Chains A and B, each alone.
Chain A
Amino acid sequence: MKRALVSLLFGFVSAFGVAANPAVIRVGVSTGASGSPATFGGAATAIAQQRGVLEAAFKPDGIRVEWVFFKGAGPAANEALASKQLDFIWQGDLAAITGKAGGLNTRILLGDSRLAPSYLVVPAKSKAASLEDLKGRKFALFKGTTQQLTFNRIAAQRGLAERDFKTINMDGATTLAALAAGDIDGVYLPVNALQLQERGVVRVIEDTRRDPLVAAHTHLLVDAAFEQRHPQLVQKLVSALVANAAWTSDEANRQQVFTGWARAGVPVSAWQRDYQPDALKQRLTPLLDPFFYAHYRDAVRFARQFGLIRKDVDVDAWIAPQYLREALKAQKLERYWTPLAADGKGAA
């Protein structure tokens, strides 16, 4: 009720072209919360949440920051944004693309993480040694999320497709139960694969570490209506996140970053192995470089080809790099991260 009144008031105010500051900025996180206090792992934004950098940045304006976690991942966050319950979303590439293709008016502001390896895991007792060995077998897929895109890309590289496997749609928690029961034959998992392997539940038989083209990206985006009303708040948020990304990318903080992420459940040891031999800077760059653009363009092409979206998405118009550029300049961080060329290998 209160929120309805507040948004009514905002509608009224913005009709006269005066955008008063909102009382609260709502940031959606496209993964379920874990740990206490609630947090998540693997993202620069997660460290920002733990360090309270956005709260500190908006305190002088009297604006609260609310973090909203979605167990239903990116698709659920999209629905919340469509219903005007969120202003920003941290999410993966595919969910953002399905949202955009579905008509959500969003703008991508900055990158969050990239090049995260995916691990092909099989039940501990399985004899499979490669993806090819799993042809025709039961493969878990959380459809509509980045996981599906990763899987399709890897399969396509090997001349395979989803239909070569018996894919079963299931969410993360169910996947873990089914793996433990030995009832699915394979799945691509992020870092928690290493944790499960440590516990002896699964075996990791392949990973995508050396392949920038299949690794997922995460980013932060904004509701375009919010951006139009409050460009200065968007700038403030991006600047705070860029400063945080610089802190998070600093090797001096490596241990602290992993410890922070471990609060969400995946232990430090798994993060250490996941990041071996990568520098933090390589994976936690906020840059919207040629690699970022190429990756999203390619993801759109894939999503269209696999029937995941019914409309094209113009990636160039979707990304709003001006806030990031401004933040990098103001903080003299233009040369801190190395931009990558479109293939994700050489420097741009």
Chain B
Amino acid sequence: MSLTETLPVPALAAPAATPRLAQALAGLRSRVWRGALALILPLAVLALWHAATLNGWVAQQILPAPALVWTTLLDLWHSGELWTNLAISLTRVAWGFSAALVIGLALGVAMGLSKTAEAYLYPSFKAISEVPVLGWIPLLIMLVGIGEAMKILVIAKAAAVPITINTQQGIRNIPQPYLEVARVYRFNPRQLWLKVIFPSTLPSLFNGFRYGLTNAWLSLVTVELLASSEGIGYQMVWGRQLFQLDVVMACMLVIGLVGLAIDLFLQITETRLLRWRRAAF
């Protein structure tokens, strides 16, 4: 709480005159505070990592020193390898995730709105989604080859599962009174969708998106391991195969940070959209 104690002045200075400013400042302060909290664990891990390599607690070949990983990261950055690979991976995730959005939303809406659709689709959907990607890969290679299509399909499958489930749940959980009110006001289908269904399923949808994106990002590495010669996942695997674990760690850092950035972006978008929803109700 030291942060609030050191900065009490502006908040007290003109509380009545500029409540919005005070509110914004308080918001900023809590955000800074939360950012600082988020750094504690990584910094502790970094310290532990440093100590472990310094004292030789673990083999340096398996866990290279932080400084070496940093140098490797810079090397990869300057040589342009990192950007090329990252761009390729992001493109794959973008395509896979887009496909997952289409499939997941369609399936989720269908199964959420119609019990009949659910009866037809849910068992197959569940069975397919429970089988690990590894099992599908030989079949996928047969069907679409080992090119981009296979990679995008694997990513799409991984991302579509949480999107479907959350969409379905979101629609299922729309409070019955909302729908009744809509019926009383004789909403047309367009109004029903825009004013009731979409806003009230939004939090659940975003849950699905975020899980979906995490899954997409995770399965990227799996598929780039299996058959690829480019991409950030491939670069990580390549580092491992050549026993250059510093390259692996550098890639892990990049993958983690990019994943975090994407999730943050979704979070912000969600907050924006939910603010609009609050205003609408």
Contact = CB atoms under 8 A, between A and B. Distances in A.
Contacts of B234: 169
Interface of A: 75, 78-79, 82-84, 95, 98-99, 101-104, 138, 142-145, 166-171, 174, 177-178, 180-181, 183-184, 308-310
B241 A181 contact: no
Interface residues of B, number: 25
11 contacts: A78-B243, A79-B61, A82-B62, A98-B244, A103-B61, A144-B238, A167-B229, A169-B234, A169-B238, A174-B226, A183-B146
B59 A83 contact: yes
Interface string B116-145: 000000000000000000000110011001
A169 B237 contact: yes
A247 B190 CA distance: 83
B242 interface: yes
A170 B138 CA distance: 13
B242 A183 contact: no
B195 interface: no
A184 B141 CA distance: 11
Given A82-B62, A104-B61, A168 B243 contact: no
B238 A143 contact: yes
Contacts, number: 87
B145 A75 contact: no
Interface of B: 58-62, 137-138, 141-142, 145-147, 226-229, 234, 237-238, 240-245
Contact of A169 (B60, B138, B145, B227): B227
A155 to B, nearest CB: 15
Given A82-B61, A177-B138, A143 B227 contact: no
A181 B61 CA distance: 38
A75 B242 contact: yes
A145 B244 CA distance: 14
A170 B226 contact: yes
Contacts of A79: 61-62, 240, 243
Given A84-B59, A102-B244, A177-B137, 15 more contacts: A78-B61, A78-B243, A95-B243, A142-B241, A144-B240, A144-B242, A166-B229, A168-B227, A169-B229, A169-B237, A169-B241, A170-B226, A171-B226, A174-B226, A309-B242
